[in-house]
Structure 1
């Protein structure tokens, strides 16, 4: 299996999980609003759960977004450059994104350990904060791998969003 296919499958799974979390958060918000309006009883901790759920959704969907080049790109100054120059700039950008996501992943995992050791919990539900931080690290780590894979392809002058047509390892 090529690296592209492996990254694509794992990123697809992460994106599906992220979509499921987003749907669950949406249903919970609707139920909480309905409970607040009809019964004067919202779901306790709905804001905490929404914050954690949306952060997890974003983390899980980032690799898929990066794999497909769906991040926002401001190409006002580079749109007239030759394709080779644009690929070089995109490769450098992918390296910078990989560095940032690697740092965020490591710091998120370290933060999870620190708040776990401190015994920090959420205000309303009393959920351990460490798990909330730790759940963000895998999506950030996978985004790092995707960006590194793309950077090496871009810097070699290849397309970063697809595998080679001959199926060679990418």
Structure 2
């Protein structure tokens, strides 16, 4: 089985969204693997050799940010967030779709403005030369990455998320 055939078999998205979902999930998976290895090496070094990995806490914090915000656009456009649907079976289907659209628009606008503010904070961190305490990694670039992923989440929700609400079978 070729890679493209595997990708088509395991990803429901269409066109470039399929490749973007794969790329973002790959980033999240690599970060998770890296965090697992870092934690194992740090714990072994700490308890067996009395020599922990320098800056492991900072690397873990940055890795968690990269992992979570890489997965956020994919989870959002797939509709994977926790949803309380207590009234959905009692309300007409048209009203449920309308409320879902309103929720998608509110989330998109919220993520857009959140990303804008976060990006401004990242620019300010870079301008001021703020770095992490132990390793001296510029924190502004990580903050700007979070803003970019927030914008990707907003774009994914406003495009593919709304497409799924309007045109896909609600039983899926």
TM-score bucket of the superposed structures, by smaller chain: 0.7 to 0.9
Paired residue for 1:103? 113
Paired residue for 2:130? 120
Superposition RMSD in Å: 2.1
Paired residue for 2:168? 159
* Equivalent of residue 63 in structure 1, options 73, 76, 96: 73
Measure, in 1, the Cα distance between the counterparts of 2:96 and 2:71.
25
* Equivalent of residue 76 in structure 1, options 86, 96, 100: 86
Q: Which has the higher contact order (CA 8 A, sep 6+)?
A: 1
Return the offset for 1:116.
0.8
Unaligned runs of 5+ in 2: 1-12
TM-score, normalized by length of structure 1?
0.83
Measure, in 1, the Cα distance between the counterparts of 2:91 and 2:42.
51
Measure, in 1, the Cα distance between the counterparts of 2:151 and 2:129.
25
Does the Cα contact within 8 Å between 2:77 and 2:161 map onto a contact in 1?
no
Residue by residue over 1:3-37, the C-alpha shift from the partner in whole angstroms, topping out at 9 and shown as x without a partner, is 95222321321121111112111110111111101
Unaligned runs of 5+ in 1: 162-170
Change (3 A) 1:97 1:160: farther
Measure, in 2, the Cα distance between the counterparts of 1:137 and 1:160.
32
Does the Cα contact within 8 Å between 1:91 and 1:150 map onto a contact in 2?
no
Return the offset for 1:84.
1.7
Indicate yes or no: 2:51 matched with 1:44. no
Structure 1 segments, 4+ long, off by >4 Å, are none
TM-score, normalized by length of structure 2?
0.82
Return the offset for 1:154.
6.3
Measure, in 2, the Cα distance between the counterparts of 1:49 and 1:70.
28
Paired residue for 2:8? none
Measure, in 2, the Cα distance between the counterparts of 1:4 and 1:97.
22
Paired residue for 1:85? 95
1:127-142 superposed matches below 5 A: 127-142=137-152
Measure, in 2, the Cα distance between the counterparts of 1:131 and 1:158.
38
